Structures are given as structure tokens and as C-alpha cells.
Amino acid sequence: MNHHQFFQHLWRDYVDIAPQAEAIQQLFIERGETIVNDHVAFRTFAQSPIELERLEPLLEQLGYHAFGQYTFDTKKLRARAYCHEVDELAPKIFLSELEFERLSERTQAIIHTLIAQIPKNAVEDPNLFWHGPLWAMPSYDAYCALRDESEYAAWLSVLGLRANHFTVSINHLETMQTLEAVNHLLKAKGYGLNDVGGEVKGSAAVLLEQSSTLADRIAVTFPGGDTHRVPSCFYEFARRYEESPGKLFQGFIEGNADKIFESTHA
């Protein structure tokens, strides 16, 4: 599998649970735009068979290498960014993991029951990145308990390992060259935006601006037959600025990303 095939599989899985992304992309296409994907992001559990260090070799097989590390102390997360070694237009990858052993004993116990079900040899090929949960669906009570302490953990418990967002590169659009213009179009079409810290996170001063929709909601059937609607995935938009003449900043800003995570909050 090459990285082009990898992202094709990811996109199909992603739009199945985030139909807004496909509809928004169509809005841009109708304006004559060609969409370039800036990055995709994944979530996982630390101290598990699918922890960051175990997933990284799969990304290396696709031609990616790590170039940045990030921490989110309040959310108990660490992350690493990856870029393709040859294809400059290939999407970057942002892989984060929850350091759940820093959470309460009750939350840790719930998460331990999930990761105990993951096969020890789960990391075999890139198909894993659109597999979804590698464990049985938790009870709704367990989901709510996770959500009360970590929205990230709750999301991961029901949706598993898969792309939680794709990102449109504003730098490659022709008819809308600011996030404000994109956000205006989205709101006019009825899409809700993540306004934590403002609709636009970041600035030219930090070389990166980002905005995002609020996650779609999907119906999930929990053990016992109860069905509840939970946040699934969202669509992001990023504008990068030059860090030197002719060279766009390629990294991420922790202050921006911390707020973007909240696009999936219930």
C-alpha cells in the first residue's frame, strides 16, 4: 500500500461517520476549487498495544518520518507530527495518545478493560488506521464516566482508531484565501463552528491559523440496546504563513491544537 491508497481508505471511512466533510468538500468543488489536504489526525491510548511508538513504524512504511513533538498537559495528551519524506503535497499526520494513567482510578479501570481486549499483535499493517474500536463497545454508563473526566477518552472508547479529522489547506484555495471567508460560507450553509478561543485559532504571528466545524453526531447502540447520539468527526481548515521566504511553516501550535481537540466535545 502506498500513501495515496492509505488516504483514500481513510477518507472513505471518515465520511461514513462525518458526512458533513463530503458535503463541504462539494461546496468548494462547485466553486472550482481543488482540495489539498493539509493533515489528518488520529487518537490512541498510551501504554497499550496501539500506543504511539507501536503505530509509528506503520507510518514509516508509508514514507513518513516524525518532525515534531507536542504536549497537552491539561488534557493528559502527548502527540507527534509526521511528514512524507518525498511527496511535499502529501498530508501531514498528527498522532496523539492519552496518558490515561494520569487520570482517576475509576477512569483508568474502564480504559484498562478496553485495552486488555486489544490483540498483542494488532499492529501489523496500515489497515489498522481505519479499523475503529479493537474492543467491545463499553456500557453507556462507562462512556459517560469517561466523558466526565476526558472527552478524548470517551470519543476513543466508542470510535476507536481512525481519522478524527481531515484538514483543508486554505493556502491552496483560489476563491477563498482567509479562514474568515471560509467560516462565513460554512455558517451561511448552517454548519456549526468550534468557537472555543474564537472561531479562528492562532494568528499570522505564530505562523498558523486554524478553524474547524463541530463534529457530526452519529447514533451508537450501547450494550443493553440503548441508542445515543455521540460526536464523531469534524472538518478542519488551516492557513499557514511563511517562516522564511518561499517556505511555509509546517509544524503545529499547541495552543491551537488544544482548542481544536474540543471540536468533538459532547
In order along the chain (266 residues), what is the average pLDDT of each group of 10 residues?
A: 96 96 96 96 97 97 96 96 95 97 96 96 94 96 96 97 97 95 96 95 96 96 95 97 94 92 89
Going from the C-alpha of 233 to that of each of 20, 21, 103, 222, 248, the distances in angstroms are: 9, 9, 24, 19, 27
Question: What is the reported pLDDT for 80?
Answer: 98
Which residues partner with 72 through β-bridges?
77
Q: Is 178 helix (H, G, I), strand (E, B) or coil?
A: coil
Please give the DSSP secondary-structure letter assigned to residue 31: T
Give the range of the structural domain holding residue 151, as residue numbers without chain letter.
3-264
pLDDT at 149: 96
Q: Report the distance separating Cα 138 and Cα 224, nearest Å.
A: 11
Helix, coil or strand: residue 244 = strand
Q: Is 236 exposed, middle or buried (0-12, 13-18, 19+ CB in 10 A)?
A: buried
Give how many domains the chain has, as a whole number.
1
Q: What does the alpha-carbon distance between residue 168 and residue 212 come to, in Å, rounded to a whole number?
A: 10
At residue 266, the pLDDT reads 76
Report how far residue 188's alpha carbon sits from residue 206's, in angstroms, rounded to the nearest whole number. 28
Pair 99, 111: CB distance under 8 Å: no
Q: What is the DSSP string of 97-156?
A: EE-GGGS-HHHHHHHHHHHTTS-TT--SSGGGGG-B-SSPPPPHHHHHHHHHH-HHHHHH
The CATH number for 238's domain is 3.10.180.50
Between CA 258 and CA 196 the distance in angstroms is: 10
Q: Indicate the pTM of the whole model.
A: 0.95
- Residue among 178, 210, 187 nearest 41 (CA): 210
DSSP conformation class of 200: S
